[in-house]
Each structure stands twice: as structure tokens, then as C-alpha cells.
């Protein structure tokens, strides 16, 4: 599983008091002082370097997941996605910004993300909402994902979503 920045932040916040408590104590009373102090120091070192350790772990996950999904992401709308598109699909951050020029494959990447979430992550398509600024773009996304990939998914404009909420 890819660990998002928010998940890492929550873990650090939830465990900070434990870390501070462990770090501030003396452990000379422990029966196997030498062995146990090495384990405690190892924990402290790991906690202090958690961000870089987890960033490295996420990079390993992405590399492995790209290999595991090679076949799945080689046929999105009858196209094979490039490495940047695949990485954008696999990364599971809470917020993700994809910037690309016209005709570069943004909608195909979104379709690939939907395919990845529904077929690899087993997410119900109706738990996913695609939002676009324009009706034309929303209709195009709906058509391409529904017709070419046979995945029925809600696609709305911001205005339509607001209207539905109201």
C-alpha cells in the first residue's frame, strides 16, 4: 500500500507522545541494558528518520506496482500508458495535481486511474466521482470510460455536483 503524506502525518501525531516519553527516559535499570538500549536507540533513530524511510518505502512500492500492473496499464482506451502516467495512477495521495498540455493524455490517465482503482484496488465504481469544469469534458470522460472500458462511473461538472447537493 502506498502511504500518503496525511497517513504519515497522522501516525506521527498519534505516536509523538510515546516517542517523546521513550526518548526522555533513562534505561539503566533494564536487566539486559546493552541489548535493550540498542533496540531503543534503533527505534529512536527510525522514528526520527521516519519521513525519509517511508518516502523510500513508497518509491519501492511504486516501482514494484508499476511492474505488477504492466499488463493492466498497457491497455487503457487501447493505448499503453507511459511511465509518468503510470506513476500518477499508482500514487495514492490525498490530493494529486497532474499538469499537462492539450492532447497529452490527461483524460486517458484519468481513465487509467479509474481502471486501476476498480480492477486492481477493487474499489466500487460508484464510490468514485469524477469532476470536470465543463459539461463537454465531463461528457467526454463519461463516454470514454463507459464505452471503451465498460465502467459505469459518475462524472459531473462542479456546477452539477453543487446542484445535486442542494
pLDDT, tens digit (0-9, with 9 covering 90-100), for 65-115: 999 999 999 999 889 999 999 999 999 998 887 788 888 888 899 999 999
Q: pTM for this one?
A: 0.80
104 against 62, higher pLDDT: 62
Give the CA distances from residue 10 to residues 63, 145, 160, in Å, rounded to whole numbers and listed in that order.
25, 34, 33
Instruction: List, in sequence order, every beta strand (DSSP E) within the chain.
Output: 130-132, 155-157
User: pLDDT, tens digit, for every residue of 114-134?
Assistant: 999 999 999 999 999 999 999
**Confidence category of residue 28, pLDDT binned at 50, 70, 90:** low
Amino acid at each position: 500500500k502506498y502511504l500518503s503524506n496525511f497517513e504519515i502525518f497522522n501516525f506521527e501525531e498519534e505516536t509523538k507522545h510515546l516517542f517523546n516519553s521513550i526518548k526522555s527516559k533513562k534505561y539503566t535499570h533494564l536487566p539486559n541494558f546493552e541489548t535493550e538500549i540498542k533496540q531503543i536507540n534503533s527505534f529512536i533513530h527510525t522514528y526520527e528518520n521516519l519521513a525519509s524511510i517511508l518516502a523510500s518505502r513508497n518509491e519501492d512500492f511504486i516501482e514494484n506496482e508499476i511492474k505488477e500492473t504492466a499488463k493492466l496499464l498497457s491497455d487503457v482506451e487501447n493505448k499503453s500508458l507511459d511511465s509518468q502516467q503510470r506513476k500518477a495512477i499508482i500514487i495514492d495521495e490525498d490530493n494529486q495535481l497532474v499538469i499537462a498540455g492539450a492532447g497529452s493524455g490527461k483524460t486517458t490517465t484519468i481513465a487509467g486511474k479509474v481502471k486501476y482503482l476498480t480492477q486492481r484496488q477493487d474499489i466500487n465504481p460508484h464510490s468514485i466521482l469524477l469532476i470536470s469544469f465543463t459539461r463537454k469534458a465531463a461528457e467526454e470522460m463519461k463516454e470514454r470510460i463507459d464505452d471503451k472500458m465498460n465502467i459505469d462511473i459518475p462524472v459531473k461538472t462542479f456546477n452539477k455536483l453543487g446542484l445535486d447537493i442542494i
